[in-house]
Structure formats: C-alpha cells, structure tokens
C-alpha cells in the first residue's frame, strides 16, 4: 500500500468518526424535552391522522350462537357500524339478509336515522 493510499484511507476513517460522533448530537437537539412531551406529540399526531382518515371498512364476522354458526356482514359508516346476518349454518338467510340490506339502504338515504337502525 502506497503512502497516498494510506493517507486517503486514514482521511476516510477520520471523516467517518467525526461525522459519526456528530450525528447523535444533532438528533438529540431535535428530541423532545421529556418522555411526557414525546408521548403528547405522538398522541396529537395520531389524533390528527385519525381525523383526516375518511376511509371505511367492511368485513364478515363469524360467530357461534346457540350451537349455530352465523356469518354477519359488518359495514362501518361515519355514524356507526351496521351489522346484518348473511348465513346461518352455511345456508343463506334471505329474509334476514333482505332486512339487513333494507337497513343499509335506509341508512344511506336517511343518515339521521342510522342510530335508530343500529339500535
């Protein structure tokens, strides 16, 4: 290894140590003053994100009731969740499904009554 190569390697190592030691000091300056402050910032950020999220979800819920397996459709709305049976013991439950679809349609057309439908 020549003298020029050794100097270059030494310069790279020294530069690495200098920037490596300086990085934690810079990061510490941006850290909140206390753990309580950090928790407050995290919670505030989560609340902002939750308030800005206008997405909704839907899923099928499988439960066991009186020895029968029931599958329900659950749909989130801005005013609450709607849930209605789809099948009982693997067989479609048309009467209940129609009632559930009717409740969903009513909730969409008359959102002020969603609380009544959910009750």
pLDDT tens figures, 67-92 = 999 999 999 887 888 998 899 898 88
Average pLDDT over residues 22-27: 54
Give the whole-number percent of the chain exceeding pLDDT 90: 23
CB 97 within 8 A of CB 105: no
If you count them, how many residues does the chain have?
A: 119
Please give the Cα distance from 60 to 76 (Å, whole number): 12
Task: Name the residue with tokens 């969603």.
Answer: 114
Confidence of residue 96 (pLDDT cuts 50, 70, 90): very low
Residue scoring higher pLDDT (31 or 22): 31
CB 56 within 8 A of CB 78: yes
Average pLDDT over residues 112-118: 53
CB 97 within 8 A of CB 86: yes
């Amino acid at each position: 290894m020549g003298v020029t190569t050794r100097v270059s390697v030494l310069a790279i190592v020294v530069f690495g140590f200098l920037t490596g030691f300086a990085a934690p000091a810079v990061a510490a300056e941006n850290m909140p003053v206390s753990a309580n402050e950090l928790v407050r910032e995290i919670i505030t950020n989560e609340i902002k994100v939750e308030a800005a999220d206008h997405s909704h979800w839907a899923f099928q819920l499988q439960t066991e009731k009186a020895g029968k397996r029931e599958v329900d459709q659950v749909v989130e709305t801005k005013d609450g969740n709607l849930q209605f049976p789809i099948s009982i013991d693997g067989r479609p439950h048309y009467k209940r499904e129609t009632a559930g679809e009717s409740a969903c349609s009513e909730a969409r057309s008359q959102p002020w009554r969603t609380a009544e439908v959910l009750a």
